[in-house]
Amino acid sequence: MERFDVIVVGAGPAGATAGRALAQAGLNVLVVERAATPGAKNVSGGLLYSRAVAEVYPEFWKHAPIERAIAAHQIVMLGEHTSTALDFRSAQAATPPFNAFSVLRAKLDPWLATQAEEAGASLISGVNVDALLVENGRVVGIQAGPDQIGADVVVVAEGTAGLLLKQAGLRGPHNPHDVSLGVKEVIALPPDVIEERFQCDAETGAAYTLVGSTGGVEGGGFIYTNKASLSVGVVVKIDSLYASGRHPHEILDAFKAHPLVQRLVRGGEVVEYSAQTVHRGGFHLATQLVGDGYVVAGSAARLLVNNVLTLRGMDFAITSAVEAAQAILQARFAGSYTAATLGNYVERLKATSIYQDWRTFKDAYGLMENPRLFSLYPDLAGEVLERLLTADTKPGSKALGALSEALKGKASWLTLSQDMLQIARGMVL
């Protein structure tokens, strides 16, 4: 059987980064990717939060195929015919060390894979790993078609589905309750139109996080500016989508038909459509990260922070891959790759800021369960502002009176207070 020191399954951000770090340390590394080229099958909304990534790939923005530095972030509630927005702009976010970049995975993933190859890792693309080879409860390599390839340790970086782990009996099945489906279009628009519409310049861009207009299905939408296109999509809870009886593309079409979204995307040409599952980001979904002969990194380990305002999976994948690689090097030094010697990965990961952010926002998960957040409140916000901003011929009222009027027949004050407390627990306190 052919043998490597390490086999990495998957050349997404986690796999490519683990491959690079281990090859840099002089190990004989094989990275196996099922897509014809890395990134060809991968979907992200497309915001790469840059601070943690820059610790691994210093000043990557000078070399990597990034689209725009995100200097404006709009948080928008979409009512049926209203939109209520918080418009945040930061000149600092457009200068090093930046905050986030829009990226397209079809470009970013090949770049990451090249970094691994340049460090000395061998990459084979277009090869599906069919199974992990397990002997006496220990992972000893992979099966890919007729080939069995052995390794001292396997880095499982196969993304959300985690099929290999499940098939090897190392992980239980997903609960559909914990998984969302993301559907995304890339819509081509000339750069000058993007810059005028999103009030940015040639280098900078804007991100919109939108709540509402998903037909009552729990989830949210996003619009990110690329150089010459927009990434537009919705991420909705799978069980809620199923219960609605609607198709994912119908939800996306309805979202795009909202007057605000329509204004931003009009005249554009859809050049790409993709869909992928993604974990909902709950801290309680943390799963087993190591076992005898293997470590799990990135989305395969359900490492994703979603606090409603930001969705961070790519930087978490990259950070976890580095910590996994360091733990492997320590285990190598100790001379064995057991769950105990590799266990250092868990401690290392817990010490990272992104893991701590994950824990900090653990109560945000519950917010995504509350259907009123996605239908009632975006409408309510619009209605209250409409009442306050409309100079009517009838006498008006202050904000509380306007809210009381808008609430009538829709929710009680008690429900409203409980929901505000839930939002405070998730995001504020």
Ligand X SMILES: Cc1cc2nc3c(=O)[nH]c(=O)nc-3n(C[C@H](O)[C@H](O)[C@H](O)COP(=O)(O)OP(=O)(O)OC[C@H]3O[C@@H](n4cnc5c(N)ncnc54)[C@H](O)[C@@H]3O)c2cc1C
Beta bridge partners of 8: 31, 155
Please report whether residue 29 would count as binding ligand X according to CB under 6 A. Answer: no
| Cα distance between residue 289 and residue 322, in whole Å | 13
Going by C-alpha positions, the residue among 198, 257, 193, 248 that lies closest to residue 219 is 248
Q: Which stretch binds ligand X (CB under 6 A): 4-12, 167-175, 197-205, 381-389?
A: 4-12
Q: Which residues contact 242 (CB under 8 A, 6 or more apart)?
A: 176
Q: Tell me the three state secondary structure of residue 78.
A: strand
Minimum distance, C-beta of residue 354 to ligand X, in the bound complex (Å): 10
| Structure tokens belonging to residue 80 | 């049926």
Q: Which of residues 174-193 bind ligand X (CB under 6 A)?
A: 182, 184
> Whose Cβ is closer to ligand X: residue 139's or residue 300's?
300
Instruction: List residues bridging with 75 in a β-sheet.
Output: 86, 209
SS3 at position 237: strand
Binding window for ligand X (CB under 6 A); candidates: 8-16, 169-177, 351-359, 376-384: 8-16
H or E element, residue 119: helix 105-119
Indicate which single residue of 280, 312, 332, 387 sits in contact with ligand X (rule: CB under 6 A): 312
Among 7, 9, 210, 238, binds ligand X (CB under 6 A): 9
From 34, 256, 258, 362, residue interacting with ligand X (rule: CB under 6 A): 34
Does residue 367 belong to the site contacting ligand X (CB under 6 A)? no
The sign of the dihedral angle between the CA atoms of 422, 423, 424, 429 is: positive
Site string for ligand X, 216-255 (x = CB under 6 A): -----------------x-x--------------------
The reply on whether position 13 binds ligand X by CB under 6 A is yes
Burial 197-225 (b: 16+ CB within 10 A, else e): bbebeeebbbbbbbbbbbbbbbbbbbbbb
Q: Does 319 bind ligand X (CB under 6 A)?
A: no
Residue closer to ligand X by CB (options 45, 79) is: 45
What is the three-class DSSP state of 304? coil
Question: Residue from 41, 174, 197, 425 that binds ligand X (CB under 6 A)?
Answer: 41
Q: Which is nearer to ligand X, 73 or 312 (CB)?
A: 312
Determine if 293 is a binding residue for ligand X (CB under 6 A): no
Measured between alpha carbons, how far is residue 306 from residues 159, 215, 311, 353, 357 in Å? 16, 21, 5, 15, 10
> Are 10 and 19 within 8 A, CB to CB?
no
Is residue 12 involved in binding ligand X (CB under 6 A)? yes
Least separation in angstroms between residue 267's CB and ligand X is: 24
**Cβ closest to ligand X, residue 281 vs residue 382:** 281
| Binding-site member from 313, 378, 382, 426 for ligand X (CB under 6 A) | 313
SS3 236: strand
CA-CA distance, 213 to 215, in Å (whole number)? 5
Residue 317 interacting with ligand X (CB under 6 A): yes
Site for ligand X in 260-289 (CB under 6 A): 276, 278
- Position 42 contacts ligand X (CB under 6 A): yes
**Could you say which residues in the range 120-139 bind ligand X, by CB under 6 A?**
128-129
Least gap, CB of 184 to ligand X (angstroms): 5
Smallest distance, ligand X to C-beta of residue 228, A? 19
How many helices and strands (H and E) does the chain possess? 16, 19
Two tokens, residue 129: 């790993």
Position 354, amino acid = I
Among 298, 378, 382, 426, binds ligand X (CB under 6 A): 298
The pair of structure tokens assigned to 53 is 């990534």
Asked if residue 314 binds ligand X (CB under 6 A), the reply is yes
**Rg of the chain taking only CA atoms, in angstroms:** 23
Residues of the shown chain interacting with ligand X in the complex, contacts defined by CB under 6 A: 9-15, 32-35, 38, 41-48, 128-129, 157-159, 164, 182, 184, 233, 235, 276, 278, 298-300, 304, 311-315, 317
